[in-house]
């Protein structure tokens, strides 16, 4: 784990190791500057750690595209607004042993915000997201995580039935954008903060 933290730092990405979801939540919230405008990506990990509930508790200036009852137009507007926030919180699909963030996304707003826009990006990930290489990350995502997510979301995709990816062309396909963040510019070395939790979280 110490090697992984060093690899992240060499990539100008800050990384931290915490023991459990309670510590992850405390650290993530402590990294948010006072009065920051906050955006967030759809993440089971943010929900399982309690971070999502804290963000929408009323104590933070958060753009919540998940608020029940909002229209599709309002949802889209909030996703766009989230791209220009002070802080963006999200999970990640996978972390490689080289200190890289590998992601799949449906519409692309989450991975767009991770790459550019918000001044600070706080990524929270369970140890189950760590894989050896980028190749192993794609393997994990296509053969495990994406099918499990499609099933959880109730999508009519082949993988929701079979549990493996068939690179479908379904209208309900969940994985349309594939990204790898290998490193950040030296001047951006305070931008991405990755909190790795010694628990399994998310898919
Ligand atoms: S491409 Fe289609 S089958 Fe493959 S994981 Fe994505 S939604 Fe499932």
What lies within 8 Å, CB to CB, of 128 at 6+ separation is 200, 201, 202
Q: Whose CA is nearest to atom 5 of ligand 1?
A: 165
User: How far is it, in rounded angstroms, from Cα 141 to Cα 145?
Assistant: 5
Q: Whose CA is nearest to atom 7 of ligand 1?
A: 173
For residue 164, the CA-to-ligand 1 centroid distance in Å is 8
For residue 187, the CA-to-ligand 1 centroid distance in Å is 37
Q: What is the largest CA-CA distance in the chain?
A: 46
The pocket around ligand 1, CB under 6 angstroms, is made up of: 142, 146-147, 150, 157-159, 165-168, 170, 173-175
Q: Is residue 55 in a domain?
A: yes
For residue 151, the CA-to-ligand 1 centroid distance in Å is 10
Q: Is residue 14 in a domain?
A: yes
We report the CATH number of the domain holding residue 48 as 3.40.50.10420
Q: Whose CA is nearest to atom 2 of ligand 1?
A: 168
Q: Is residue 154 in a domain?
A: no
User: How far is it, in rounded angstroms, from Cα 108 to Cα 96?
Assistant: 21
DSSP-derived 3-state class of residue 90: strand
Residue 39: name the closest of 101, 93, 81, 73 by CA: 81
Model pLDDT, residue 166: 93
Q: Is residue 74 in a domain?
A: yes
Model pLDDT, residue 185: 96
Probe ligand 1: pick from 167, 169, 177, max atoms within 8 Å of CB? 167
Q: Is residue 175 in a domain?
A: no
Along the 203 residues of the chain, how does pLDDT read in single tens digits?
899 999 999 999 999 999 999 999 999 999 999 999 999 999 999 999 999 999 999 999 999 999 999 999 999 999 999 999 999 999 999 999 999 999 999 999 999 999 999 999 999 999 999 999 999 999 999 999 999 999 999 999 999 999 999 999 999 999 999 999 999 999 999 999 999 999 999 99
The closest-lying atom of ligand 1 relative to the alpha carbon of residue 142 is: 5
Domain that holds residue 53: 2-131+181-197
How many domains does the chain divide into?
A: 1
For residue 41, the CA-to-ligand 1 centroid distance in Å is 20
Q: Is residue 137 in a domain?
A: no
Model pLDDT, residue 35: 94
Model pLDDT, residue 55: 97
Q: Is residue 13 in a domain?
A: yes
Q: Is residue 163 in a domain?
A: no
Q: Whose CA is nearest to atom 1 of ligand 1?
A: 167
Q: Whose CA is nearest to atom 6 of ligand 1?
A: 175
Model pLDDT, residue 15: 98
The closest-lying atom of ligand 1 relative to the alpha carbon of residue 175 is: 6
């Amino acid at each position: 784990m110490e090697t992984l933290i060093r690899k992240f730092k060499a990539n100008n990405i800050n990384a931290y190791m915490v023991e459990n979801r309670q510590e992850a939540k405390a650290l993530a919230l402590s990294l948010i500057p006072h009065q920051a405008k906050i955006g967030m990506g759809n993440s089971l990990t943010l929900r399982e750690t309690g971070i999502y509930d804290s963000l929408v508790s009323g104590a933070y200036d958060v753009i919540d595209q998940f608020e029940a009852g909002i229209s599709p137009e309002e949802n889209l507007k909030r996703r766009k607004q989230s791209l220009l926030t002070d802080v963006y919180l999200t999970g990640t699909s996978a972390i490689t042993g080289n200190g890289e963030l590998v992601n799949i996304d449906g519409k692309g707003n989450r991975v767009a915000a991770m790459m550019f826009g918000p001044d600070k990006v706080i990524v929270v990930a369970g140890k189950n997201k760590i894989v050896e290489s980028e190749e192993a990350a794609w393997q994990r995502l296509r053969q495990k995580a994406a099918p499990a997510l499609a099933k959880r979301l109730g999508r009519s995709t082949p993988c929701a039935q079979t549990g493996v990816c068939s690179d479908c062309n379904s209208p309900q396909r969940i994985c349309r954008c594939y990204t790898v963040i290998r490193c950040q510019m030296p001047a951006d070395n305070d931008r991405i903060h990755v909190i790795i939790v010694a628990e399994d979280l998310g898919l």
